[in-house]
Amino acid sequence: MGMLSYYFRKSLTVCKDEVLVLPSRVAVGVFVVTILVLPLFSQSPYLLRILILSSIFAIFAASWDLLSGFTGQMNFGHALFFGVGAYSAALLNIHGHLPPWASIPLGALGAVLTGLIVGIPCLRLRGTYLALTTLAFPVILLGIIFAVPDITGGELGLSGLSRLTGSRLWDYYLTSVIMLVSCAVMWKITDSNTGIIFHAIREDELAVRASGINTIRYKLLAFSLGGFFAGISGGLYAHFMRIAGPSTLEVSMSFTVVIWAVFGGIVTIYGPVGAVFILFPLLEFLRFWPEYRTLAFALVILLILLYMPEGLFPYLRDKLETQCPRCKIRNVAKRKTCRICAAPLN
Amino acid sequence: MLLDIVVSGLISGSMFALLAIGFSLIFGVARIVNIAHTAFYMVAAYCIFFFTQRMGLGSIISMLLAIVMVICLGLLTYRFFIEPIREHEAAVLIGTIALAIAMQEVMLLIFTGDFLSVPSLVGGFFSIMNVKIFYQQLLTFGAVVAVLLALWLMLMKTRLGLAIRCMAEDREVANLMGINERLVAMATMGISVGLAAFTGAVVVPLTIVNPFMWMEPLIIMMAVVVLGGLGSLKGSFLGAYILGFTEALVVFLIPKGAFLKGSVALSIMILVLILRPEGLFGIAFEEER
């Protein structure tokens, strides 16, 4: 009992001193709580459907950020992992009669394998070459899928997968919890030693090699991690929509994920997640003017890029918070002195 | 069969060559990866459709008008959307994707998503060994060769060409030598978009016009550029014909080849890249930092 109250008091202190002092941390907390309690206020199936799809695509966008944002391996064919995850989950479910809890992780492992297969030729490429080459991989797979319609369903795709869970509400909780957990895991990975090495590979790969770090291993690790999370989102998507079709592999899918991530701000896992939760519902609510929807989407992205090329969330964060020049701790922008070391902030 | 392959390979190869050289040119000079390149080609095709079918203008005049209009559009978008974000490589990629999508949507609004077609410039065909060769195909091929020659002369013999080659080699030194970097980049963008528009103009009688026609050539064009080496015009030219003939071979020789043509062409690109990461004629840069 004593231990319990100790941990309770400690978490309150952490909450007061570390979370409530910074607007960005408060925002993340509010976001998590809102996601979890939202069904108490509205259970409209349409709203839940939009949020489920947002959660699935949030994992997808964050996994792109983990691979391309952090290591700088610009992947323009991220739909490959999504599609492989969706198709292998569908094949395992329809032909292997596996339930979703087995087919989704196995599909994600298939995506990891694809990540390794794709990553090995990509090791020698960098920058624009890499971006343009990776664009080719989903297109190659798409051609193969169209060529063997007996197994893959061709243009119609594989339909009739089993449902994720019994009801819309449980689907919502399953996907949103998986989204929160996997985004937290990705955030943690990028915060660890591995994440620092990923950063360093983006900034200067030669220097990282010179420091005695096996960059090949870390690049392949980034490809498999990105593939794993994208594969999970692909499997969830296939089981939620109950169809795995060629649209999961299309070029526009690869482009959309890049748009989400860059809109939200790369090299921050939270940026792409937030961007999906803003842009995806926005696109749905613009359905009252279906002809202008995509045009408005494109124009919003162009304007955002012109005024905040770093992405929306880093821009907002920089407006709200400043970094202490002495101890590198973040502070609210309106403070005159640092909250830890009391150095003057300018 | 053989002749079919040759004709089809030459036509698609020439089209890819024109697109890829335009794309390569602006990448070499300004380091801009212009994903919207093929969208300009689509806009040019629509302009020609509009002028010939709706306004009733002659084919040649409408082609010229279309090219001029697309060049203006290209320069305007460059000035207002691409130039301010040129320093951020990722932002340029996204910006040009968004531009392409915006153009696609505008065309969708104006002309709806119907499949449209434009009559060919010259009718009729002759046949050799039971293979029909349309005069339009010959004309397309001839026009492409002429434009490529003109472009080569421009790059090699004029002062602007010299400036463009300088910029492609080393931007900073070119700037130090008194070359107006912004002006040359603008001029190159004009030429590059003009090439895309010209491709649209010569290809439009042979294909179907619809707002999504920019996606398919985009992938192959990028494969061509990567295969030949980024920024290398010779590489783009050769790579275009390699991939053009590969596609033709796959379509005519393999059952269900039409589905696999893209896959085989892209696999060849990847194989070449594994052997030579900088492409056929690319220069291996000393770690650009």
**Cβ A265 vs Cβ A312: under 8 Å:** yes
Q: Give A185-244 as a DSSP string.
A: HHHHHHHSHHHHHHHHHHH-HHHHHHTT--HHHHHHHHHHHHHHHHHHHHHHHHHHHTEE
| pLDDT one-digit tens code per residue, A29-41 | 999 999 999 988 8
Do B91 and A305 count as a contact with CB atoms less than 8 A apart?
yes
One-letter identity of residue B112? T
Residue A29 CB partners (closer than 8 Å, separation 6+): A19
* Residue B112 confidence (pLDDT) above 50: yes
CB contact under 8 A, A131 and B33: yes
Contacting residues of B for A142, CB less than 8 Å apart:
262-263
Cβ–Cβ < 8 Å for A83, A301: no
Region A148-170: mean pLDDT is: 85
Tens digits of residue pLDDT in B145-174: 899 899 999 989 999 999 988 888 888 888
Chain B nearest CA to A295, separation (Å): 5
Which of B94, B104, B262 is facing A258, going by the closest CB pair?
B94
Q: Which residue of B has its CA nearest to A136?
A: B266
3-state secondary structure of A47: helix
Whether the pLDDT of residue A176 is over 90: the answer is yes
Nearest C-alpha in A relative to B100? A298
pLDDT at residue A161 greater than cutoff 50: yes
Distances (CA, A) of B101 to A87, A98, B39, B86: 27, 39, 8, 19
Burial B119-138, CB ≥16 within 10 A → b, else e:
ebbeeeeeeeeeeeebebbb
Query: What pLDDT does B287 receive?
Result: 43
For chain A, say whether B81 makes contact (Cβ under 8 Å).
Answer: yes
Instruction: Report the alpha-carbon distance of residue A323 to residue A314 in Å, rounded.
Output: 13
Higher pLDDT, B56 or A140: A140
Q: Which of A129, A142, A247 to mutate to test the interface with B (most CBs of B within 10 A)?
A: A129
CA A6 to chain centre: 36
Closest CA of chain B from A8, distance in Å: 45
The complex scores an ipTM of: 0.80
Q: Categorize the per-residue pLDDT at A184 as very low, low, confident or very high, splitting at 50, 70 and 90.
A: very high
Do B179 and B166 meet the contact criterion of CB atoms below 8 Å apart?
Answer: yes
Q: Per-residue pLDDT for B286 more than 60?
A: no
Nearest to B273 among A125, A259, A295 (CB): A125
Whether the per-residue pLDDT at B8 is higher than 90: the answer is no
Q: Is B65 at the interface with chain A, CB within 8 A? A: no
* Mean of pLDDT values over B234-263: 85
Q: Is the pLDDT of residue B141 over 50?
A: yes
Containing B196, the helix (H) or strand (E) segment is helix B181-203
pLDDT in tens, A271-329: 999 999 998 888 888 777 777 777 877 888 888 888 887 888 988 988 888 888 888 88
B256 touches chain A (CB under 8 A): yes
Tokens of A184: 């937290």
Domains and CATH numbers, chain A: 46-294 (1.10.3470)
Beta-carbon contacts of residue A119 (< 8 Å; ≥ 6 apart): A219, A220, A223, A224
A28, A273 contact by CB (below 8 A): no
**For A222-247, what is the mean pLDDT?**
93
**pLDDT given at position A63:** 94
- B161 at A interface, C-beta within 8 A: no
| Per-residue pLDDT reduced to its tens digit, A46-73 | 899 999 999 999 999 999 999 988 988 8
Helix (H) or strand (E) holding A65: none
- Domain ranges in chain B are 15-212
Q: In the predicted model, what is the mean pLDDT of chain B?
A: 85
Q: Does B55 touch chain A (CB under 8 A)?
A: no
Most confident of A104-113, B7-16, B220-229: A104-113
Q: Which chain B residue lies closest to A289 (C-alpha atoms)?
A: B109
Mean pLDDT of B186-193: 93
DSSP A255-269: HHHHHHHHHH-SS-T
How far is it, in rounded angstroms, from Cα A48 to Cα B158? 63
CB contact under 8 A, A139 and B93: no
CA distance A280 to chain B (A): 16
**Distance separating alpha carbons of residues A26 and B58, to the nearest angstrom:** 65
